[in-house]
DNA sequence: AAGATGAACAACCGCTCCCGT
DNA sequence: TACGGGAGCGGTTGTTCATCT
C-alpha cells in the first residue's frame, strides 16, 4: 500500500516504480536539455516526481552507459579490494567500476557479502571475515578469472605450493594486478581444508595491465592499502604466521567455510 | 498447484555538504 | 556570516521473482 506524504499529495507527486512513459519523458528531456537542476527538470519535463527521484532513476537505470547484469569476478575482486580500503564509500568505489552504480555495488555488498558473513556466523567487519576474504574469497576469484580466460589477461599471478605464499593485489597507475599466491594449510589439516588446497597449485601468467580501474585512478603500493583497514597491510607476514598457527581463525569458522560453497 | 521464504534489485528517506545570495 | 536550495551519499525499505516445501 503506497503511503503518500502530505506535501506530495498536495502537489500530486508520484512515488514507487517508474512507468515506461515516465522513463521516456525523462530520457527525452535530458537528451534535449541535459541533466542537472533536477527539481526544475522534473517540473519542466512534466514529471510528477521529485527531482531526487528523477536523478536517481537517471543515474541508476536510464543513463546510457550504465552496466547491468551480473557482477563479474573481476568486478567482485575489485569491490572486495576497494571496500577493504575505503569501507562503505559506495560512490567512491563505483567510480572505479565503469558503468556500475553505487546503488548496485551497495546492493551487491548487502545481499552477497553480508550474507556470506552471516553464513559463517561472523560479523562482516570482523577480522575473521576479512581473513576469509583475504585468504579464500579473493584467491578463489582470481582462480575463477584465470579459469574463465585460460590465462587471464586481467590477472598476473604465480601460485606456489607454499604455506606462506599469498595473493597480492597491486594497483598502480590505474592498473589492478595480482601477483603471487595463495595460502594452503599443512597436509595434516588438509581434510578440513580441501577448498583451499584445491587452488594451491602453481601457475604462471604473463604480465598484464588490464583492470577495471580508469586511467588516473588513485593508487597505492602493495594492494594499495595505505590505511589500517587493509586486508594486506604491511606486516601481514607476521600476522600470517599467527593465522597459520590457528590463532586467527577458529576451527568452527573453518568448518563453516567448508560447509559452504559461497566462495566458489 | 499454491503458499512461504529468501534473494536480488529498485526506490525512497534523512542527512550532510556545497555554493550562491 | 547566515540562510536556503540543489545535489550527493549511505542506510533502509519496498517490490518482484525464483525456489522451496
Instruction: For chain A, give the mean pLDDT.
Output: 62
- Closest residue to C9 (CA to C1') is A91
A230 pLDDT higher than 60? no
Closest CA to A139 of A226, A81, A210: A81
A84 pLDDT higher than 60? yes
pLDDT band at residue A255 under the 50/70/90 scheme: low
Pairwise CA distance, residues A141 & A139, whole Å: 5
Question: Does at least one atom of strand C sit less than 7 Å from the CB of A14?
Answer: no
Other Cβ atoms within 10 Å of A9 Cβ, number: 9
Question: Does at least one atom of strand B sit less than 7 Å from the CB of A261?
Answer: no
Question: Does at least one atom of strand C sit less than 7 Å from the CB of A17?
Answer: yes
Q: Any idea which nucleotide's C1' is nearest the CA of A37?
A: C6
Kind plus residue range of the DSSP H or E element containing A204:
strand A203-204
Question: Does at least one atom of strand B sit less than 7 Å from the CB of A60?
Answer: yes
The pTM for the full model equals 0.65
The grid coordinates of residue A200 equal 594451491
pLDDT digits (tens, 9 = 90+) for A237-251: 333 434 434 444 455
Which has more confidence, A152 or A144? A144
Domain ranges of chain A: 6-62, 73-259
Name the class of domain A6-62: mainly alpha
What is the predicted pLDDT for the residue at A71?
Answer: 83
Which has more confidence, A21 or A179? A21
Amino acid at each position: 500500500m503506497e503511503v503518500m506524504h502530505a506535501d506530495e499529495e498536495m502537489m500530486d507527486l508520484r512515488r514507487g516504480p517508474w512507468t515506461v512513459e515516465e522513463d521516456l519523458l525523462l530520457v527525452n528531456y535530458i537528451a534535449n536539455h541535459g541533466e542537472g537542476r533536477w527539481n526544475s527538470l522534473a517540473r519542466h519535463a512534466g514529471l510528477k516526481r521529485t527531482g531526487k527521484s528523477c536523478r536517481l532513476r537517471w543515474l541508476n537505470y536510464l543513463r546510457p552507459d550504465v552496466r547491468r547484469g551480473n557482477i563479474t569476478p573481476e568486478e567482485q575482486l575489485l569491490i572486495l579490494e576497494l571496500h577493504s580500503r575505503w569501507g562503505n564509500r559506495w560512490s567512491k568505489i563505483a567510480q572505479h567500476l565503469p558503468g556500475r552504480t553505487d546503488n548496485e555495488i551497495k546492493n551487491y555488498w548487502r545481499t552477497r557479502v553480508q550474507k556470506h558473513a552471516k553464513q559463517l556466523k561472523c560479523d562482516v567487519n570482523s577480522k575473521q571475515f576479512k581473513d576469509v576474504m583475504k585468504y579464500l574469497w579473493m584467491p578463489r576469484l582470481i582462480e575463477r578469472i584465470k579459469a574463465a580466460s585460460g590465462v587471464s589477461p586481467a590477472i598476473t599471478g604465480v601460485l606456489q605450493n607454499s604455506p606462506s605464499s599469498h595473493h597480492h593485489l597491486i594497483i598502480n597507475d590505474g592498473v589492478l594486478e595480482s601477483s603471487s599466491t595463495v595460502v594452503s594449510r599443512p597436509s595434516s589439516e588438509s581434510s578440513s581444508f580441501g577448498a583451499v588446497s584445491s587452488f594451491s597449485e602453481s601457475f604462471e601468467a604473463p604480465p598484464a595491465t588490464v583492470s577495471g580501474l580508469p586511467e588516473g585512478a588513485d593508487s597505492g603500493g602493495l594492494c594499495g592499502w595505505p590505511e589500517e583497514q587493509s586486508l594486506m597491510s604491511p606486516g601481514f607476514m607476521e600476522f600470517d604466521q599467527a593465522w597459520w598457527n590457528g590463532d586467527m581463525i577458529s576451527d568452527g569458522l573453518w568448518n563453516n567455510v567448508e560447509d559452504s560453497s559461497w566462495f566458489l
